[in-house]
Structure 1
Amino acid sequence: MHKISGWTGMLTVVFHAVLLLMDQYVPYQIREIFIPFLAKNDPVFSALGTISYYLFLLTLATSDFFIKTLGRALWKRIHFLVIPAWILMILHGILIGTDSAQPWAASVYGGGIILVMILMAFSVSREPQ
């Protein structure tokens, strides 16, 4: 389930980037999506999403393709980059999202934050002392 959720998240990010390329309301060029701070539309808030993507990609790639090569200790340190990636993604969505002021969006962000916090607390409580 953990691996599937990671790949589903990555596919969602790729879908988001493709939609931005096709968007007529706030058009983006491919370099604006993949190079942080280059976007004409809110360059800092756009960059939060781009940096989040790269951290997430690094986490996913090392987990699926390089875990044995890296060794468990280094892999685990890299894997924890998903936390700042998630924080940057949340900030990106709240600060630049065109629907962020809508009640449903606040519910999605709030529900996601609560769910992740509960799962993190559960994970930490299961760690051997």
Structure 2
Amino acid sequence: DLLELCPGKVENYEEKLKNFYREHIHADEEIRYCLEGSGYFDVRAKDDTWIRIWIKEGDMIVLPAGIYHRFTLDTLNYVKLMRLFIGEPVWTAYNRPQEDHPARQGYIKTLESSGVAVKAH
């Protein structure tokens, strides 16, 4: 499906933007292709600091299931994203803390098995 975010075009714009900016995880990968505009995906590093990823038209991002992240617009205040899903579309966000969620546990296990030292928060 398509997600278009900009003031004046989206019902409950401020509320939606606040929800996207709330730190959360998903049970499945989050796959997004940027059709127009730009924005930021923030993801948590292993030391729990933020890594900011700027996406713009033509960029695709795949966030693994269980990674803490959030999204916000940049100064353009506009983005149109294609949301891609494997299987049935699921938009459920689980706000932090979610250390016991199976997706989070799987993500941590994947990091640890790849040799990344992870400090649980």
The verdict on a shared fold, with TM-score over 0.5 as the criterion, is no
TM-score (norm 2): 0.30
TM-score (norm 1): 0.29
Higher fraction of strand: 2
Structure number with greater Rg is 1
Give the number of the structure with larger relative contact order, counting CA–CA contacts within 8 Å between residues 6 or more apart: 2
Higher fraction of helix: 1
